């Protein structure tokens, strides 16, 4: 059994590529659905959920990076 790959285990470059690809798929799915009945009516929902997962992981990484930078600079947070 293989290990499940999550968004947290993917490198930044791969997340950016996956984000662009998923947005393109969502765009084509929307325009395809406008012309005829879609094969999978839940596909846009799945694409939006994937995009949200990617953006959430990117935000978490940026927060961790900024917290690490502020901790290494020695500054203390003010109240």
> Could you state, in order of their start, the residue ranges of all structural domains in the chain?
44-70
pTM above 0.85, yes or no: no
Predicted local confidence at residue 71, as pLDDT: 81
Q: Which two tokens stand for residue 27?
A: 């765009």
Each residue of 48-65: pLDDT tens digit?
999 999 999 999 999 998
User: What is the Cα gyration radius of the chain?
Assistant: 18
d(CA 17, CA 22): 9
5 SS3 class: coil
Least confident stretch, 21-25, 29-33, 49-53, 73-77? 73-77
d(CA 24, CA 31): 11
């Amino acid at each position: 059994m293989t290990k499940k790959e999550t968004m947290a285990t993917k490198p930044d470059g791969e997340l950016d590529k996956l984000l662009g690809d998923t947005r393109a798929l969502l765009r084509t799915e929307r325009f395809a659905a406008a012309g005829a009945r879609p094969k999978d009516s839940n596909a846009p929902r799945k694409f939006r959920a994937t995009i949200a997962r990617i953006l959430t992981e990117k935000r978490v990484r940026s927060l961790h990076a900024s917290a690490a930078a502020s901790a290494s600079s020695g500054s203390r947070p003010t109240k």
